[in-house]
Amino acid sequence: MSTSYTWGARSWLKATPEAEWGVFDPSASPIWLRLEGDRPLTLQPRAFVREIAAADARGETIDHVLARIEVTGTLTTPLYPDQAGALLSWGLSPLAVGEPATYRLPSMTLDVFDGHRARRFLGTRVQTFSLKTSAADPVVLTRLTLQAGRVDPVDLVVSEPSASVWPAGPPYGLHDLQGGLLLGSPLSRKGFNLVELVVENRIDPVFDEEIHAGDLLYCGRTVSLTLRQRDRGNEPAFDQTAHETQTRVAPAKLIFQRGGRSVEINLRSRCRITEIHVETPLHGSKTRVLQIRSDFDPVAGDSLGWIVI
């Protein structure tokens, strides 16, 4: 008798925006996110328990109480021009709600077929949004650390999608950044072999008497940018001075563009260089690594903005 094994290449993921957190919206337009590489999706529920170790069990665990179930994991997908707006909106755009305003991150319902079974994750929000490209791996990859409210117990079928739902054309690459990295002085820079933007959304999961999260509250964020540049003998004195004096660096922008499509990420006007690290290998060329932090800009009302065309 033959045995059927689960194959990761028979997996797919549909993300549907939610109008209300944790509630699937059948009227919304979904996007199908390409799962690329090994372990592209690790989202799953994890049970946390309070163990009871007792004297009558010789100091060993004799019982336990279920405390909560957290649904966490990561998602890795290339940044395609057709999907950039949806991904950046999901991870980078907290929405003002009510008066006085509180802020909430957009949420998605994720329908996943993992090669064996289908699952629906409700109320999925982005805790960490990472966008990275390098000379070693020129594809612009988005790596999202996710938190979801719960797994929907409903029986679900996620059929294999048709070819028409996938993005048209290749994803953005490092070469699409040519002339599109603006930072202080000199304003337009080239020669970078690594660019990584990391946005860490502070999420406070609400666990009261229920074992599933009652909400995933947004409590601010930090925005940082890491750049690695090969030294060409003309190291800008501006960077070192700005770092030592902690002078604001403006503007700081990443612009990926191809044909008539573009993604512009604006780190506003209150950036500062938090670290400069010089690498001088014996058998390689000298490189400089800049770490930049984007602080809250009271004029713009945030620490980061973006435009997709």
230 occurs within a structural domain: yes
Q: What mean pLDDT comes out for the span 268-296?
A: 88
The predicted pLDDT at position 5 comes to: 57
- The verdict on residue 7 lying in a domain is no
**For residue 244, what are the domain limits?**
12-156+170-308
Q: How high is the pLDDT of residue 17?
A: 97
Percent of the chain past pLDDT 70, that is, above it, reads 94
In a domain, 132, yes or no: yes
273 occurs within a structural domain: yes
Q: What is the pLDDT of residue 24?
A: 96
In 154-285, which ranges are E strands?
181-183, 188-189, 192-206, 215-230, 252-258, 261-266, 271-279
SS3 call for 11: coil
Residue 14: the pLDDT is 95
Q: Is residue 5 in a domain?
A: no
Residue 274 lies in a domain: yes
Yes or no: say if 122 and 197 are a contact pair by the CB < 8 Å rule: no
Across 1-21, average pLDDT: 78
Evaluate whether residue 49 is within a structural domain: yes
* Tens-digit pLDDT profile for residues 36-53: 888 899 999 998 878 888
Q: Is residue 302 part of a domain?
A: yes
pLDDT in tens, 253-277: 899 998 889 999 998 888 899 998 8
Q: Domain tally for the chain?
A: 1
